[in-house]
Structure 1
Amino acid sequence: MKFYNLKHPEQEVSFSQAVRQGLGKNQGLFFPRQLPEFDDIESLLAMPLVERSIKILYPFVEDDLTLEQFTSIVTNAFNFPALVQSIDEKNAVLELFHGPTLAFKDFGGRFMAQCLQTFTKDSREKITILTATSGDTGAAVAHAFYGLDNIDVTILYPKGKISLLQEKMFTTLGGNISTLSVDGSFDDCQGLVKQSFDDLELAQAIGLNSANSINISRLLAQICYYFEAAAQLYRQRGKFDDLVFSIPSGNFGNLTAGMLAKAMGLPIKRFIAATNANDTVPRYLQTGAWQPNDTIATMSNAMDVSKPNNWPRVEHMLNSGIVDKNCLSSVAIDEEQTQMGIHSLNSLGYISEPHASVAYKALKYGLNDDEFGVFLGTAHPAKFKETVESTLGCLLGLPKELADCSGETILSSEMNVDFQQLRSYLLAQVN
């Protein structure tokens, strides 16, 4: 299968090229030329996660990978579960934080790392992964690529705007993982990444790639857990065609993957894109005017994004009829509502962190009587220990993954929002 640049449709690449490059010409996003469609959904849902994921994704990669190679990639990447937990008779949470860094980004990060390692195994090609994180991408990417030959990783994150435990999960590794604390917002960090891709001399010199959700491999991996959620709910409820997914949305990769799953035949009824105060998309869907404001820091910090980079993919699917425009709505949830959501879930016996609470509150405002709501739990509550504890007035224990890094020293360097400073840093890393 070929993947084309949404900004320059004449630029067409293979899966391996799309994964290696990350972005196309003029910062264009790659999108599959066609989507496989599956009619016998019930048979798919009866399969285990790994077997089903291989069947769903292999049409995208079959020109570049043998079935044996791809089976190994998926088996190694998806070696942890996605779990559906019932909240009440009308709602459930899809827990995506049972991987090594306790966040949904483990699915995409590990899948991309396995793909890249396979593509570079028999060459001396040197790759530099440059990515920006608003919280959880950093840890998932760092742990997925840590120790891999011929791959260096540099992660940019907004100084003082992610939780300390989030920060420690990816800034304490060292080795082939470098981290930069940027005196700015996530959008500033992402802007520096984009400038790096536009500098063709730099990109060639360091073998530049990105592991953000702009990389098509990340999105393909995320498709799989929508099918997994439907499979578990089908076993529990005997139906799956009334599902409404509420997705905590920052860079909008999760929504993109869900819409791809729907386009491939999974009968998701509709989606709610739940944002925090960074409400560019809800306002756009209401007014038709794309007017990003300055990014606001919130307790759901991984969603503190005012210029979501995956939105062109979402809009392409809506405008081209790949998915119906009526299947998407969006709502902004403020800080007070987020805290109320944490309290409400706690009263139902479920401890939530802020991002899942945003998605839950959006469901409560927007679910119809004939629908069943699934909100995405994208991170373990302990990654937001201080926020959850102060909201609920109780103490949270630390899972082993967080306890192991909590006492480690942060190894980051600090920098301003200065592309030349970043450029010099990256060139020094490979020389």
Structure 2
Amino acid sequence: MKLYNIKYHNEQVSFIQAAKKGLGSKQGLFFPVNLPNFNLDTINSMLKINFIDRSYEILHSYIGNEITSNNLLMCIKNAFSFPVPIKNISHNISCVELFHGPTLAFKDFGGRFLAQILACICDKEKITILTATSGDTGAAISHAFYGMDNIRVVILYPKNRISPLQEKLFCTMGENIETIAIESDFDTCQSLVKMAFDDVYLNKSIHLNSANSINICRLLAQICYYFEALAAFPEEIRNNLVISVPSGNFGNLTAGLLAKSLGLPIKRFIAATNTNNTVPRFLDSGIWEPHITIPTISNAMDVSNPNNWPRIKELFHRKSWKLTDLFYGVVSDEKTKSSISKLDKIGYLSDPHSTIAWHVLKNSIKEKEHGLFLGTAHPAKFQDVIENILNKKIRLPYELTKYNKLPLLSYTMKPNFNILREFLLK
């Protein structure tokens, strides 16, 4: 598999190099030189086989023979070891629940696959995973890499801007997992990570890698659950399926669009955001103008300068698709709260991010279409928010009660790159 740097097309790397490097020069994202495509007969056949074997076909179409078939299949089996259930919400809307992994969020798919791949290709080479999280990535990455020899994980997150239970899931582990609460917002955390990758000496000294969805390895893994979701529906529904994606850093939507590029018959996508709405404003006006990030109850989507948007633009350009065909919707905190209540009244408990996707989908679905929204996190991870909205207690699953009792081990740091650089080099 060959990939090129979107910002510097002459820089081309293999899949293994891209997985190890994370980012290209000038903070450029890697993108496939060749975009594989399956015909409809092949797609229909793939949708009849099991999740693991289908995921192998998808990922092998990108990766090729850089990783042996046995090793790739082993990585997939170890990473995708939990179910992807579909829940019917109403007669024409369903939810694909992506939060049944060990950290109760969709990030487990990409995080676990990346960990398996790096363990497979890095052997005894020492590397440092440096990543930023707006909530769920931190837990997925820390659990996926916990205890791995020769891999140090450093996670930046915005202080006081993620839920207490999200924080407990990855800031209580210790050993090879180090967490830093940055006294700013997620965009600043993301900027600090990019500055580290631009520092040649730092990069070479500690062998930096990223586990954000800027790493193509993590992104490719997420394509697989879109196929799994469609496999649950009969053909007449598949051909009229509209998928609403809660969007913050836009990696999840990028993966869905890559699934469509492979030939998966998705009628249209909806990018659902909170009031940090840089992309919807761009789609409306053609002007890219990130604003100051606004804290919301859907904190994982509090991103004003989404990393993966350049990949979406590149894909639309390569496929000759029109950006005007990408639907979108913006949901305020007040509407999110009322929608959580509405869903609860019809018997479905939903987290704020997934609720935003449902809200936009419900208001834009057309006759004869079937809507599918992505359930990206277990609602219990936002216990305080949801209990305040619904005025009732919700039960915490074991995965959360286990870590909720442990002390936080995070460092607190000013948003200063020199301080971070010294920390990384210690």
> Which string of whole-angstrom CA distances, capped at 9 and with x for unpartnered residues, describes residues 74-113 of structure 1?
0000000111110011100110000000000000000000
- Is this contact kept in 1: 2:84–2:96, CA < 8 A? yes
- Is this contact kept in 2: 1:299–1:354, CA < 8 A? yes
> Which string of whole-angstrom CA distances, capped at 9 and with x for unpartnered residues, describes residues 386-418 of structure 1?
111111111111101001000000000000000
1:278 and 2:282 aligned: no
Q: Which runs of 5+ in 1 are unaligned?
A: none
Deviation at 1:325, TM superposition (A): 3.2
DSSP-derived class of the 1:385 partner: helix
Corresponding residue for 2:377? 379
Corresponding residue for 1:218? 218
DSSP-derived class of the 2:180 partner: strand
- Is this contact kept in 2: 1:274–1:362, CA < 8 A? yes
The whole-number CA distance in structure 2 between the counterparts of 1:423 and 1:369 is 55
Corresponding residue for 1:174? 174
DSSP-derived class of the 2:425 partner: helix
- State the aligned residue count: 424
Alignment of 1:226-305 (within 5 A): 226-234=226-234, 238-305=236-303
Corresponding residue for 2:81? 79
DSSP-derived class of the 2:329 partner: strand
**More moved, 55-64 vs 8-17:** 55-64
> Which string of whole-angstrom CA distances, capped at 9 and with x for unpartnered residues, describes residues 141-173 of structure 1?
000000111100000000000000000000000
1:44 and 2:46 aligned: yes
- Is this contact kept in 1: 2:80–2:109, CA < 8 A? yes
> Which string of whole-angstrom CA distances, capped at 9 and with x for unpartnered residues, describes residues 244-282 of structure 1?
110000000000000000000001011110000100000
Corresponding residue for 1:99? 101
Alignment of 1:320-335 (within 5 A): 320-321=318-319, 323-335=321-333
- Is this contact kept in 2: 1:8–1:25, CA < 8 A? yes
Identity %: 53
- Is this contact kept in 2: 1:4–1:11, CA < 8 A? yes
The whole-number CA distance in structure 2 between the counterparts of 1:298 and 1:215 is 26
Deviation at 1:351, TM superposition (A): 0.4
- Is this contact kept in 2: 1:263–1:323, CA < 8 A? no
- Is this contact kept in 2: 1:103–1:380, CA < 8 A? yes
Deviation at 1:21, TM superposition (A): 0.3
- Is this contact kept in 1: 2:237–2:370, CA < 8 A? no
Corresponding residue for 1:6? 6
- Is this contact kept in 2: 1:292–1:306, CA < 8 A? yes
Query: What residue identity is the alignment partner of 2:317?
Result: N
**More moved, 177-186 vs 364-373:** 364-373
Distance 1:243 1:327, change over 3 A: farther
Corresponding residue for 1:416? 414
Query: What residue identity is the alignment partner of 2:49?
Result: M
Deviation at 1:201, TM superposition (A): 0.5
Deviation at 1:326, TM superposition (A): 4.7
Corresponding residue for 2:113? 111
- Is this contact kept in 2: 1:112–1:211, CA < 8 A? yes
The partner residue of 2:69 within 55, 67, 75 is 67
Corresponding residue for 2:143? 143
- Is this contact kept in 1: 2:223–2:255, CA < 8 A? yes
- Is this contact kept in 1: 2:283–2:324, CA < 8 A? no
Deviation at 1:370, TM superposition (A): 2.1
Deviation at 1:59, TM superposition (A): 2.1
The whole-number CA distance in structure 2 between the counterparts of 1:256 and 1:327 is 15
Corresponding residue for 1:156? 156
The whole-number CA distance in structure 1 between the counterparts of 2:6 and 2:278 is 21
- Is this contact kept in 2: 1:248–1:358, CA < 8 A? yes
Corresponding residue for 2:27? 27
TM superposition score normalised by structure 2 = 0.98
DSSP-derived class of the 2:238 partner: coil
The whole-number CA distance in structure 2 between the counterparts of 1:394 and 1:267 is 41
Corresponding residue for 1:318? 316
TM superposition score normalised by structure 1 = 0.97
- Is this contact kept in 2: 1:108–1:221, CA < 8 A? yes
Deviation at 1:324, TM superposition (A): 4.4
> Which string of whole-angstrom CA distances, capped at 9 and with x for unpartnered residues, describes residues 51-94 of structure 1?
10001111222231010010100000000011111001110011
The whole-number CA distance in structure 2 between the counterparts of 1:2 and 1:320 is 15
Query: What residue identity is the alignment partner of 1:86?
Result: N
- Is this contact kept in 2: 1:269–1:327, CA < 8 A? no
The whole-number CA distance in structure 1 between the counterparts of 2:126 and 2:258 is 31
RMSD in angstroms over aligned alpha carbons?
1.0
The whole-number CA distance in structure 2 between the counterparts of 1:277 and 1:239 is 31
Query: What residue identity is the alignment partner of 2:246?
Result: P
DSSP-derived class of the 1:9 partner: strand
Q: Which runs of 5+ in 2 are unaligned?
A: none
Deviation at 1:319, TM superposition (A): 2.4
Query: What residue identity is the alignment partner of 2:328?
Result: S
Corresponding residue for 2:15? 15
- Is this contact kept in 2: 1:139–1:166, CA < 8 A? yes
**More moved, 330-339 vs 415-424:** 330-339
Query: What residue identity is the alignment partner of 1:10?
Result: N
- Is this contact kept in 1: 2:132–2:189, CA < 8 A? yes
> Which string of whole-angstrom CA distances, capped at 9 and with x for unpartnered residues, describes residues 340-361 of structure 1?
1101111211001100110011
> Which string of whole-angstrom CA distances, capped at 9 and with x for unpartnered residues, describes residues 110-151 of structure 1?
000000000012xx3110000000000000000000011110
